Amino acid sequence: MPRSRLMDQMRHALRVRHYSPRTEQAYCRWVLRFIRFHGVRHPADMGEAEVNAFLTHLAVADHVSASTQTQALSALLFLYRHVLGRELGDLEGLVRAPRSHRVPVVMTPAEVRAVLAELDGESRLVASLMYGTGMRLMECLRLRVQDIDFRRNEICVRRGKGDRDRVTMLPEALKPELQGHLRGVRALHERDLADGWGAVLLPDALDRKYPAAPTDWRWQWVFPQQRRWRDARTGRQGRHHVHPTIVQRAVKEAVRRAGIAKQVGCHTFRHSFATHLLENGYDIRTIQELLGHKGVSTTMVYTHVLNRGGCGVRSPLDGLR
């Protein structure tokens, strides 16, 4: 089959199985990189030996992390299993990238306060939600109006990592600001409707099941983008949610202005959320549920970054003073 058709089939197979757009992009990049690595040969003409050579090259020559090599392997396994219709055998002699154990970067409450003080507008509200709820950046940006329950002080995170839903808290301190923000978003939505716009993309086939839902206020993004767009498939016009790079750049600049000498990004707010809850004595199982971790072992990493010194042990030097 032609190479362009192969990639079309790859994308189709991923979408049929409801893989996220980011996973689709990553898997397709790895397949193209695999093809180029072997001189633009078709994957159907290659097998275990070529996959082994490519993955070993990633670990030995490119020095990629274990998670990156695993993602590349997953992409190729998907390609051969679901697109080419064959299973790869044992990858004998594969050199695996060494697994590293990194402690997450965590800000102190004072540092969080300093960064938030350097932000304004939507970026500040998004960052406050990430720190106050433990949501990932994309989970925050993909919030719909109906996902926020002001009476129960809850936020429902839909289709999080692993395609799992979960419920987290709505910080009491953010309610007035968030309600004011939604009033502005609703006024914007009503202007869009008056101009013949106002439709939003819905997950799966909900727009066919509920034709009026794309323009329903409940389904609108909490953080819509400034520019309008037109859906090429349906012809409807509306807004997408804010692009993540806007918030990422704002946070990076705020960290610089705050003078914090740490590698702080948007995900650091999530790390800080979990660590500060542990410091305040909350049960690790509860924090696991709030973060949406599949197992408690993932959440356990935050026990190593508590503000109590190494492993919670008091240094003997401090006993001399």
- Active centre residues (catalytic): 136, 161, 267, 270, 293, 302
Q: From CA 274, how far away is CA 106, in angstroms rounded?
A: 9
Q: From CA 169, how far away is CA 131, in angstroms rounded?
A: 11
Residue type, 248: Q
Mapped onto helix, strand or coil, the DSSP state of residue 149 is strand
Structure tokens at 271: 């790390």
CB 265 within 8 A of CB 274: no
Nearest alpha-carbon partner for 75 in 13, 28, 12, 33: 28
Q: From CA 237, how far away is CA 200, in angstroms rounded?
A: 8
CB 111 within 8 A of CB 251: no
Angle at 21 between CA 155 and CA 31, to 5 degrees: 145
Q: Which position has the token pair 């300093």?
A: 114
DSSP string, 90-140: --TT--PPPP---PPP---HHHHHHHHHT--HHHHHHHHHHHHH---HHHH
Q: From CA 288, how far away is CA 86, in angstroms rounded?
A: 38
